Structure 1
Amino acid sequence: MNDTRISLLVDQIDTALRELADVMTDPTSLHFETDHPQFERLERSLEQKSGIDAAFAWAADMHHAGGKVGSSRSTDYLVQRLGLSRSEALTRLQRGRALFDPPSGSPPPPAADETEQRAAAARARREKKAQAEARRKQASAEKRRIIDSALEVLHEDADPGYHELLNKALTYSEFHAVDHLRDWIREQVRLANLAVDRLIRHNIAFDKRRISFSNPDANGGIHVHMYLPSDAAAVLSEAINPARSQLLEGSDLQVDDPLTWNQRMVNLLVAMCRDFLNTKTPNLKGVGSIVVSMTMAELENMSPGDVFPTNTGHLVDPFALIRLGEATSDFFVVHGSGGEPLHADTGKRTTSLRQRIALFASELVCSAEGCERPMNQCQVHHILPHAQSGPTDIANLTQLCWGHHRDNNDLRNPLSPFGWADRDPHSGRVGTRRDASSPVHVNDSPAAARSGGAKIRARYPA
């Protein structure tokens, strides 16, 4: 490699960044309308830095760079000379090894037949090819961290393997937002791990459930650490959801202080605990419900590897379904072949709650394009405003998270920068129309695609 060339390039980058920093010392001088495309381009250019960092960390490890700081560990060199945290140094080293070390994997057992040996050889070739392709792809440091974190739980014998999923994730990250990437790669890892029989132990999370309290910090506060199975997380999320606090009117559990969402959750949780201690019984019947969506085919052919979405955004497996089924307030929505909700085991509920269940069944999350906020963080919205005689029936309703609900252009004012929720006349789905002349953009995010209705649409495309 040309050392002079590297020195020249680093000099150019250093000079350019220093000059740009000088320009930005007074951001009031920025001509935003003309300059913002350049900063968007800068952000895309800087995505290449994470790949460069991984390559250099790998080279430092290969050349035993720790010796330059009196250590046998390359991480010490990266920490002391590059000013990194130890966790960031380890991340760069692991990323470099993933990109440049020869792909690894368990060889077939000695007794493997010829078919198994051919399959193992084909998988090894795919891994080697995918690794070479991944080296040429770029992603921001944040997206890299999400991919690295998800791949940590990928088994070495999973199919697709580590480098195949890494390569696919880098491609996916180029066209999708951070939150969508996180959901997508976790789902790909889960599906890949199903190829390894011994990994199908769906009670692992339940067996590892725990809660712990830290020692008080300098302010007297403590950190509460929990690890919960998905059904317990869904129950807790719904129980302390501030959006439901109006249901507690007249109760000691009512929480209506003008606080942040997180502060209100704490207040609600503490109030519920106090109510329990005062009454010695959990006086919470009817406060909240967990809603599970599934298709008739999934219900009839359920397997241990299946997961089902809930209104809180958590995915539950069949074992969690059994635990949820013990609560009489929870709902199970079953979809027919057209995606419509056929049945909901409801008990005695109000019409409005039935409508929310129907909305959940068809949309699962906020219907704004790309949004993944679950139903329990959404509000029911009239597509044709109620003030304009819009009816309160399912054909005129959708669910929007508080942010998209606030920004919805109810009057459809053409001078407003915001769009509005509308129903696509062709597909019948609700999405966002940016102006009167634009089409309806529906929500096809990974979270929305988990709904029973979306699965039916995918199976029976129009």
Structure 2
Amino acid sequence: MAGYNPTSQNQDPQIARGIIRESIAHISSGLTNLQAAMHSVETLKFHDIYLLMEDLEEAFGKKTFVDAAFAFLAQRDDAGRLVSSAHATEYFIKRMNLSYGEAMDRLRNAESLFGKDVEPDLGPPPTPEPESNPEDLPADDHFAESNDAEEKAKEAERKAREEREARQRAEREREAQERAERENEAKARNRDKIGTGSIPADVLRMIDFELKQLDRYAKPGRHELRSMAIDKARELSKSQLKTWLRRAIRQANANAVMPNGERDHTAQLAKRELHISEPDAEGMVSIRGKLDPVSAAIFAKAMSPAARPGFDREETGFDDTRSLPQRRADQLTQLCSNFMTSRNPNSGLSSIVVSATRQELENLSPDTLLPTDTGIYLTPLDLIRLGAAGSDYLCIMDDTDFQPLALGRSKRSATLAQKLALIASEMVCSHDGCEVSAMNCDVHHIVAWSYQGVTDLKNLTLRCRRHHGDNNDAQDFRHNMAHAARCPDTGRAGTQYPHEVGLRFNDSVAAQQSAHHKLKTQGPPTESPPAPGDDDDGTAQPDLFAPA
């Protein structure tokens, strides 16, 4: 099989397509044969094949570049349109069965290798010098008596200041230009290294993750340090590489200076973050994050009462057996509860909504799991702790067509009652296969407000931000884009795709926990729903509150 120079960017596309087709056929056939051969585990010997398997692992490292190149093509050529989306991520999720995280990793790597060149970053202008105060000038009777001499002195000072500013501006431009050139040269080196060598995708993913801690004006910059890390990956293990890279990042951040010669005092603030995981097999959620010094001081002060046992108990002599971490967890819960009840108490923002059928409520057991609009399942005991034993809102589900009672008509913004009804009906985004919880969804007009659509429950559905943005409000299938619609027979909201008869509905596991679905299937499921986040493959789950 003939090849071609991988460093050239001007290969004949027909030759390239032929090589891609033939290569994939060989790889597919080879892996099928390899899979069949590995069934002979009873007779094979490790020492007979281990060198071959090491060669295979090395070869798979070349797929990192292939994935990045294909991701670049998908982003550039609008691959999302194939699945009625404006986002290339949807193509990878729906057609290649990748997770959202893996799709984003490939697209980010594609941008790092093939994206636009780094532009010079001039940064903010230098801090202006304080203007001279005439009272601070040395006393001089002759100077004070001569207005003409005073004006000339002011003019000379103004010209000198302008010359200094011009020199500083030229220096900033030169420094920014040189930095951009260094970054672009390193970017080209990275493209050659990954395009002609081999680096495992998980190693490159680790490198890029660590580089997120690099300051904006760090020296060396992101692409330069990435190039150095790729070189180090050939001689260090993954854990050793991480240790080396973290030290290099600390040093680069210590060297960070803006083009104006000053330190960037906002660098720490830009790194603040908070992540909340999906519930694990027991329904527990993990929290991790990083706070800037000011936020950390506020947080530490707010959590300080938890240092004292019994801090949240009015009775005296209370024997508090909770550990310090447990008291801190309780204090955090109390702080969040206080915030929810003090902000917009009548808007529903402080309410946690549970979707359940009457039959479920009549047959509650201590182990019953009820879905909420947060994507977290709660037991009856959890509801009592939450203070939700008495319901503030009642959403009536019609037992004939299983639709919530329609409420409200004349306003563009959905009322709280309408939102509650939608949650009971849908529980998650109504786009097929989506499991984004109702809390992170928008209320979408099926017939857009701009097309005289009314704010009636039958014209509303839940859509996450990503699928809301993909909706074609004109409903004309332009650019192969789909739109939300409601089935005239069942009244259920779904998605109408181009060139398809009928709607696609969301039958994901999360969607099946809505009261609507349970009524439609005539009663609660025989078994409790699978615990959220209980994945067979043990892979990390996405951030529960990440934007869709």
Rg (Cα) greater in structure: 2
Larger strand proportion of the pair: 1
Higher relative contact order (CA 8 A, sep 6+): 2
Same fold (TM over 0.5): no
Q: TM-score range by the shorter chain?
A: 0.3 to 0.5
